[in-house]
Amino acid sequence: MGNVSEKRDFSVVNKRLVKIDSLALACGTSQFTDDIEVPGLLIGRILYSPHAHARIKSIDTAAAKKVKGVLAVLTHQDLPRVRHTTAGQGYPEPSPYDTLVLNDKARFVGDRVAAVAAETPEAAEEALAKIKVDYEVLPAVFDTLAAMEPGAPVIHDEADAKNIPDAARNICAKYDFEVKESEWFSEADVVLERTYKTHWAQHCALEPHVTITFFDGDGRLVIRT
C-alpha cells in the first residue's frame, strides 16, 4: 500500500474546491423542480385517509367529476395493482414491496385514497370535498412491540405484497445477528441490556417534494422530480 502519509498530486482529493452550485444556492437562483414554468400543467391533489386502519368499501366520485375544470378523478379501481417499495435500496431490492399508488385499504392516517387532476387548485380542492368514501374502520395498532403480539391487527393481509418477512406479526424488515457470551462480558465491570427505539427520520431537503410531468413535442414523457 505504501506510506499513507505520502503526498499525492491528486486533482480533487486533498484540494480546496469551489462547489459548482454554491453561488446559485447562496443567491437563491438555483432552478429546483417547482421553479420550472411549463404551460398548460394540471394541478394534482390527493384525498387522504382520516383513519389509521380502514378498508374502503366504496367510493363515489360522480359529483367530483362534474366540478368545472376537473379532468380526472382516480381511485384504486382505475389503476393496476403494481406493488412498489418506498425504501429505495439498491437492486435487487430487499425491502418490502407493500405499497400501491392508490389502495383499497388505508394503513395509516394520511394514506392515499383518491387523486384529482384539475385546471386550478380551487377546482381540485372542490372535487376532493365531493368524493364520498364509505370506510370499514378496522382495529389499529400504534405500538411496535404490541404490533408483534399474537392477535394484533394485521396491517398487510393482502396476498400480493412481497418481501415481508412475517406479515402475520407485522414484521416488515428483519435482520438476524447474534452476540455471544465472551470475555468482553466476563471482564466488564458493568453490562447493560436495554431496548432502544428511534423516531421516524426524514432528511431536510432545500426544496419541497414536487413532481412535474409532461409530454414534450416528440411525445416523450418527461418527469422532473
Q: What does the CA dihedral 112, 117, 122, 127 come to, rounded to 10 degrees?
A: -60
Query: What are the pLDDT digits (tens) for 167-197?
Result: 999 998 888 888 777 777 778 899 888 988 8
CA distances from 211 to 43, 78, 97 (A): 11, 21, 22
Radius of gyration of the chain (CA): 25
Decide: 118 and 45 in contact? Cβ < 8 Å.
yes
Cβ within 8 Å of residue 148, ≥6 positions away: 169, 170, 171
C-alpha to C-alpha distance for 183 and 133, rounded to whole angstroms: 61
Among the listed residues 86, 106, 105, the one whose alpha carbon sits nearest the alpha carbon of residue 96: 86
Q: Rounded to 5 degrees, what are φ and ψ at 215?
A: -95, 130
Q: Which domains does the chain have, with CATH numbers?
A: 40-177 (3.90.1170.50)
Say if pTM beats, i.e. exceeds, 0.85: no
Q: Would you mind telling me the total number of residues written for the chain in this entry? A: 225
Q: Stretch 47-56: mean pLDDT, rounded? A: 98
| In the block, residue with C-alpha cell 418527461 | 222
The C-alpha cell of 168 is what?
402475520
Query: What are the pLDDT digits (tens) for 56-98?
Result: 999 999 999 999 999 999 999 999 999 999 887 777 888 899 9
Instruction: Please state the separation of Cα 177 from the chain's center in Å.
Output: 28
The type of residue at 150 is P
